[in-house]
Amino acid sequence: MAQEQPDYLSYLLRLWRVSEEKAAWRASLESSRTGKRIGFTDLESLFAYLKAHTVGESTAIEDWRKEQNENGQQWHL
């Protein structure tokens, strides 16, 4: 059963560099609706999360969660 996707999403995006040598970036999103924050160890994970939550398919979100858990890339604040 497909989950209905909202027509509007609003987040506070935070980005910070953790290493000048590697130019590694971290990110977090905070939902303006719920206040929930989620963190990302790289920008690719952030982009994958946003894509999964805007394509309108609940399977994309579950696939993203599964991939992040397997890779250990997702972290919560």
CB–CB of 23/11 below 8 Å?
no
Confidence at residue 8, expressed as pLDDT on a 0 to 100 scale: 86
**Shortest CA distance to 74 belongs to which of 30, 29, 37, 39?**
39
All residues at 6 or more sequence positions from 10 whose CB lies less than 8 Å from its CB, including other chains:
31, 32, 33
H or E element in which residue 12 lies: strand 11-19
Mean pLDDT on 46-73: 72
pLDDT class for 74, splitting at 50, 70, 90?
low
pLDDT at 26: 94
> How wide is the angle at C-alpha 62 spanned by C-alphas 2 and 30, nearest 5°?
100
Q: pTM, whole model, 2 decimals?
A: 0.66
Q: Is the pLDDT of residue 35 over 50?
A: yes
